[in-house]
Amino acid sequence: MTALFGLDFRGKPVVVVGGGTVATRRVRRMVDYGAQVTVVAPEVSDDLSRMASHGDITVVRREVQPGDLTGVWFVVAATNESAVNAKVADWAHDQRIWCTNASDSHVGSARTAAVSHHSDIAVGVVSTGEPDPQRIRGVRDALADFIDSGAVSLRRQRAHGGKVILVGSGPGDDGLLTMRGRQAVAEADVVITDRLGATRVLSTLSPDVEVINVGKSPDNHPVPQHQINALIVDRATAGSTVVRFKGGDPFLFGRGGEEVHACLAAGIDVEVVPGVTSALAVPALAGIPVTQRGVSNSVLITSGHAGADTAALAAMTSGATVVILMGVAALPVIVEAALAAGAGAQLPVAIIESGSTDRERVTRGDLGSIVRIADETGVKPPAVIVVGQVASPGLLADDVSATPEP
């Protein structure tokens, strides 16, 4: 029976014998684990040469010798010659050093696991009988998919210090929630959630996970930001893992910076999980590229709460794309300011409501007509407004392939 142990390679000296494809893969893994890696081989791959040039590893270009193992913590025998690998495994055995043999796991004191990582948990799969790499990778991948689906709670069961994870959940479709974001939700004792974002995933949580809705709408802020900050700090101080579940990305008009500051000021460990921002994702899902070669080489993202700022007006008159979030109520003021600043009345505009959800709707017009069209069609927030030539209907069908690279 093969026993499984988790080994901490950080700062430990590791020797990898061999410089081919298999050795390169093993070296990458050891470097990721934080090991101090020395590669011993007459010839090494281009990848290993680049890693050595960057100082990530040390390469000794010659045949391996018994003295190369002196003082080493772990050895990987990964040459293309099974006899050499077996000899290295014997040397490691004599010196009481753990060793994996890439050509024969029966010759060596350790086996390499197929590993998947989920937050601060690693799941490893090894063969206890005849080696079968494809088989153990298949089992690992199936387990990883199951864990990352959110079907497994990752909550700590022993008492632990509180922490906060700010999770950007994207524009609404739960398929756009990142893997790390999904893992964080599975770790949560408390979720403090916005009104928008991938909130459907919260229905999968255990009933004993506390879910607090502090979501705002344009005309209704039931929980002021300072109270949200205090709530986050209070639950984390009590020892809970708190997930602050936010729509879009937490640092793009999401007040995530204020929440991080509140945590740090209270001495609370905080992690930020970036999210897919609606400013870029929602236009893309609607078939609008915010930049397009030969059409627009830059994009400005702005909040529409206070109307159009000077940077947005300058961008509208210079050919750049302007993406406006939270701008439906101020649309008449923004359009009036843009026209007064010299933007053309024919400049295309697209408004995407409830982007990425089954309620998505796209309304198009130009600066001269969009206020009237939005009023007639009853455009409502949440919506992303795109101003610029990229919002032209059928842009992607136009042939711009002959346009030279900028």
Tens digit of each residue's pLDDT (9 = 90 or more) over 327-369: 999 999 999 999 999 999 999 999 999 999 999 999 999 999 9
pLDDT at 401 over 70: no
Q: What is the mean pLDDT of the chain?
A: 90
pLDDT of residue 127: 78
User: Is 163-276 in the same CATH topology as 13-112?
Assistant: no
Q: Count helices and strands (H / E) in the chain.
A: 11, 17
> If you average pLDDT over residues 10-31, what whole number do you get?
94
Confidence class for position 154, pLDDT limits 50, 70, 90: confident
> If you average pLDDT over residues 217-239, what whole number do you get?
87
Residue partners of 390: CB distance under 8 A and separation at least 6 = 283, 288, 289, 290, 291, 292, 295, 296, 321, 348
211 touches 197 (CB < 8 A): no
Tokens 């799969």: give the residue. 125
Instruction: Tokens for 205, please give them.
Output: 């949580």
Low-confidence winner among 22-31, 135-144, 294-303 (lowest mean pLDDT) = 135-144
Give the domain 163-276 fold. Cobalt-precorrin-4 Transmethylase; domain 1 (3.40.1010)
Confidence class for position 85, pLDDT limits 50, 70, 90: very high
Confidence class for position 221, pLDDT limits 50, 70, 90: low
Q: What is the pTM of this model?
A: 0.75
> If you average pLDDT over residues 280-292, what whole number do you get?
96
> If you average pLDDT over residues 359-381, what whole number do you get?
96
Q: Residue 352's CB: how many other CB atoms inside 10 A?
A: 26
Instruction: Spot the catalytic one: 12, 216, 366, 380.
Output: 216
163: annotated active-site residue: no
pLDDT at 323 over 70: yes
d(CA 353, CA 356): 9
Low-confidence winner among 20-24, 91-95, 97-101, 127-131 (lowest mean pLDDT) = 127-131
Q: What is the distance, to the nearest Å, from the Cα of residue 309 to the centroid of all Cα atoms in its chain? A: 31
- Percent of the chain exceeding pLDDT 70 equals 94
3-state SS assignment for residue 74 = strand
pLDDT at 134 over 50: yes
pLDDT of residue 406: 44
Confidence class for position 405, pLDDT limits 50, 70, 90: very low
pLDDT at 399 over 80: no
All structural domains of the chain with their residue ranges? 13-112, 163-276, 280-397
216: annotated active-site residue: yes
Give the domain 13-112 fold. Rossmann fold (3.40.50)
pLDDT at 82 over 70: yes
Residue partners of 393: CB distance under 8 A and separation at least 6 = 348, 364
> If you average pLDDT over residues 53-62, what whole number do you get?
96
Instruction: Spot the catalytic one: 68, 174, 189, 194.
Output: 194
> If you average pLDDT over residues 82-87, what whole number do you get?
94
Give the domain 280-397 fold. 3.30.950
d(CA 89, CA 103): 11
Q: Is 346 exposed, middle or buried (0-12, 13-18, 19+ CB in 10 A)?
A: exposed
pLDDT at 105 over 50: yes
- The helix (H) or strand (E) run that includes residue 338 is helix 331-340
pLDDT at 41 over 90: yes
Ramachandran area for residue 160 (φ above 0: left; ψ -120 to 50: alpha; else beta)? beta
